[in-house]
């Protein structure tokens, strides 16, 4: 039976539920429908194919688990940010695969909602939620990693449309995407942040070439994307030419604080999995019972509680109508570094397992060795740790740079 066939298509979108009833509905649906093979804390785990991921995420959408706060007019479920948090808590509590379209749902979609035309909202947004269009993010370039204002990919006017030339790099998932959210320069390089525009570039357009890059975890999800005289229609320009950067920053600030809101609860799922695996192993069960590792595991648990506090505080602030501003950098810095510490502890523990290796340890090693490697990217993408520290110093502390 395919994932889609296994899924009840009934949506909760139109139901008026209390928070607890909503949580219960999301919890029950996820537990009833997440295939055992998708669970990375299961011996039955097998990394889902792209087709399986697309089907699963489309089913999640129909069940009301994605597009939660998006307006119903554009395919969303029109629910509150607090309900978005509740759904994400339930998503986090299960060891399910990461979305293959997180850029569509958490970056491109919100930007289009903020500055897109009515036609763009109707054309792009339902396609993202229904998983008909997977998006990737074309921001970084070989000469513009952290310093996006130095990007060189150029968009020039060409009749009623645009012509794009340049190169993007470290573009996760471009090989599987239909659209790329491209940030391109319309003015001079010296203009820095001014004169940057955003485009929804179809990756099957003539002149687009995608080449995968092997990453440290052995996967080939990272890509380079080359644009050679790529013609783009005006209707695929997102926002006004000079508005692109400002709009991106506004949305990125919120997204930095709220995207993958399930993280703290997923980290908790990981911690519980690690402990459960250790308790199934003769040597490790003794170790996690002793003071040294009890303290270190306790420290991880405290950090997870603090991360939950960061997320919930951000949600409450947004619900009150406060601006998040640069505060999103606090949460991003916190989760990325604490997850790396946790992943290193997991490896350290699992490396001391008994021989012959128990099935529980094999499952845990497969999961945590992958997490450890992938976590190295977490202090790099979405603004490196150094960029986040700079944002906090400049915009939150407003430290003087005076000479």
Partner 1 sequence: MSMAEGLQPDEFAATAARAVTACAGLDVREQAHNLAGDGLLGVVADEQVGGLALPLGFAVPVIAAAHSGLLTFPLLETILVARSLQSSLTRLAAAIVSGKTLATIAWQGEAGAARDGGLLVLSGMVARAPGAACADYILVRMSGGAAALIPTDADGVVVEEAAGLDLTVPEHTVRLEKVEVSIGSILPAGTWDLLNSDANVLRAAAILGSAEACLTLAQEHASTRRQFGHALSYNQAIRHALARQKLALESIRHAITRSLSGEGGPVQRDAAFLAAVTYGSSISEGALQIHGGMGFTWDVPVHRHLRRIRSLQAQGDASGLISTFGRRYVSEVAPFAEAGA
Q: Which is nearer to partner 1, 335 or 372 (CB)?
A: 335
DSSP string computed for 258-283: HTTTTHHHHHHHHHHHHHHHHHTSHH
What is the x/- site pattern for partner 1, positions 44-83, by CB under 8 A? x---------------------------------------
Q: Which is nearer to partner 1, 77 or 339 (CB)?
A: 339
Q: Which stretch binds partner 1 (CB under 8 A): 145-153, 178-186, 222-230, 386-394?
A: 386-394
Minimum CB separation of residue 35 from partner 1 in Å reads 14
Which residue in 56, 199, 265, 293 binds partner 1 (CB under 8 A)?
Answer: 293
Is residue 39 a contact residue for partner 1 (CB under 8 A)? yes
Looking at 83, 255, 270, 303, which residue is catalytic? 255
Q: Which is nearer to partner 1, 216 or 389 (CB)?
A: 389
Minimum CB separation of residue 200 from partner 1 in Å reads 35
Residues 347 to 376: which contact partner 1 by CB under 8 A? 359-360, 363-364
Which residue in 60, 128, 261, 275 binds partner 1 (CB under 8 A)?
Answer: 275
Is residue 114 a contact residue for partner 1 (CB under 8 A)? no
Dihedral of CA atoms 119, 4, 43, 88 in degrees, nearest 10, equals 40
Q: Which stretch binds partner 1 (CB under 8 A): 217-225, 231-239, 246-254, 281-289?
A: 281-289
DSSP string computed for 62-102: HTTSSS-SS-GGGT-----HHHHHHHHHHHHTS-PPPPS-H
* Three-state DSSP class for residue 286: helix
Q: Which is nearer to partner 1, 32 or 389 (CB)?
A: 389
Asked if 164 contacts 157 with a C-beta cutoff of 8 angstroms, the reply is: no
Asked if 225 contacts 178 with a C-beta cutoff of 8 angstroms, the reply is: no
Which residue in 13, 37, 42, 373 binds partner 1 (CB under 8 A)?
Answer: 42
Residue 231 bridge partners (DSSP): 163
Classify each residue of 53-80 as buried b or exposed e, where b means 16 or more C-beta atoms within 10 Å of its C-beta.
Answer: bbbbbbbbbbbbbbbbbbeeebbbbebe
Is residue 396 a contact residue for partner 1 (CB under 8 A)? yes
Classify each residue of 350-363 as buried b or exposed e, where b means 16 or more C-beta atoms within 10 Å of its C-beta.
Answer: beebeeeebebbeb
Minimum CB separation of residue 322 from partner 1 in Å reads 14
Say which residues have a Cβ less than 8 Å from residue 189's Cβ, sequence separation at least 6: 150, 152
Residues 303 to 342: which contact partner 1 by CB under 8 A? 303, 305-306, 308-310, 312-313, 327, 330, 333-334
Is residue 288 a contact residue for partner 1 (CB under 8 A)? yes
Q: Which stretch binds partner 1 (CB under 8 A): 134-142, 156-164, 191-199, 388-396?
A: 388-396
Q: Which stretch binds partner 1 (CB under 8 A): 2-10, 71-79, 123-131, 389-397?
A: 389-397
Residue with tokens 């921001």: 139
| CA–CA distance, 103 with 92 (Å, rounded to integer) | 18
Q: Which is nearer to partner 1, 177 or 388 (CB)?
A: 388
| Angle of helix 359-375 versus helix 328-350 axis, rounded to 10 | 140
Minimum CB separation of residue 358 from partner 1 in Å reads 8
Say which residues have a Cβ less than 8 Å from residue 378's Cβ, sequence separation at least 6: 335, 336, 339, 340
C-alpha of 369 from chain center: 20
* Three-state DSSP class for residue 370: helix
Please confirm, yes or no, whether 255 is among the known catalytic residues.
yes
C-alpha of 393 from chain center: 25
Which residue in 294, 319, 348, 381 binds partner 1 (CB under 8 A)?
Answer: 294
Residues 147 to 176: which contact partner 1 by CB under 8 A? none
Catalytically active residues are: 255
Residues contributing to the site for partner 1 (CB under 8 A): 39, 41-44, 271-273, 275-277, 279-280, 285, 288-289, 291, 293-299, 301-303, 305-306, 308-310, 312-313, 327, 330, 333-334, 359-360, 363-364, 386, 388-390, 392-394, 396-397, 399-403
């Amino acid at each position: 039976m395919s994932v889609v066939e296994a899924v009840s298509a009934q949506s909760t979108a139109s139901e008026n539920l209390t928070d607890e009833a909503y949580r219960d509905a999301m919890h029950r649906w996820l537990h009833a429908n997440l295939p055992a093979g998708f669970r990375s804390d299961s011996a039955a785990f097998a990394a889902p194919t792209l087709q399986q991921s697309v089907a699963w995420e489309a089913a999640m959408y129909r069940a009301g688990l994605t597009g939660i706060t998006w307006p119903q007019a554009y395919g969303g479920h029109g629910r509150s940010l607090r309900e978005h948090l509740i759904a994400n808590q339930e998503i986090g509590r299960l060891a399910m695969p990461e979305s293959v379209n997180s850029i569509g749902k958490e970056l491109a979609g919100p930007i289009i909602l903020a500055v897109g035309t009515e036609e763009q909202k109707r054309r792009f947004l339902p396609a993202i939620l229904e998983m008909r269009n997977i998006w990737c993010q074309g921001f970084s370039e070989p000469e513009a990693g952290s310093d996006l204002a130095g990007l060189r990919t150029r968009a020039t006017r060409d009749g009623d449309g645009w012509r794009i030339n340049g190169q993007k790099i470290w573009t996760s998932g471009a090989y599987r995407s239909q659209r790329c959210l491209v940030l391109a320069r319309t003015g001079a390089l010296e203009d820095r942040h001014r004169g940057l525009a955003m485009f929804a570039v179809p990756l099957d357009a003539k002149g687009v070439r995608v080449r995968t890059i092997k990453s440290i975890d052995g996967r080939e999800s990272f890509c380079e994307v080359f644009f050679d005289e790529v013609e783009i229609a005006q209707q695929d320009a997102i926002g006004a030419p000079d508005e692109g950067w400002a709009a991106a920053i506004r949305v990125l600030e919120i997204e930095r604080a709220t995207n993958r809101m399930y993280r703290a609860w997923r980290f908790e799922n990981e911690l519980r999995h690690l402990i459960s695996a250790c308790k199934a192993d003769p040597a490790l069960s003794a170790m996690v019972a002793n003071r040294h590792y009890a303290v270190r595991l306790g420290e991880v648990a405290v950090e997870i509680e603090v991360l939950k506090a960061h997320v919930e505080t951000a949600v409450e602030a947004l619900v009150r109508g406060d601006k998040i501003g640069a505060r999103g950098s606090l949460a991003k810095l916190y989760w990325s570094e604490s997850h790396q510490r946790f992943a290193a502890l997991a490896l350290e523990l699992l490396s001391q397992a008994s021989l012959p290796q128990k099935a529980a340890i094999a499952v845990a090693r497969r999961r945590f060795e992958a997490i450890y490697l992938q976590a190295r990217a977490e202090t790099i993408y979405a603004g490196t740790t150094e960029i986040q520290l700079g944002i906090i110093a400049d915009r939150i502390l407003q430290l003087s740079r005076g000479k």
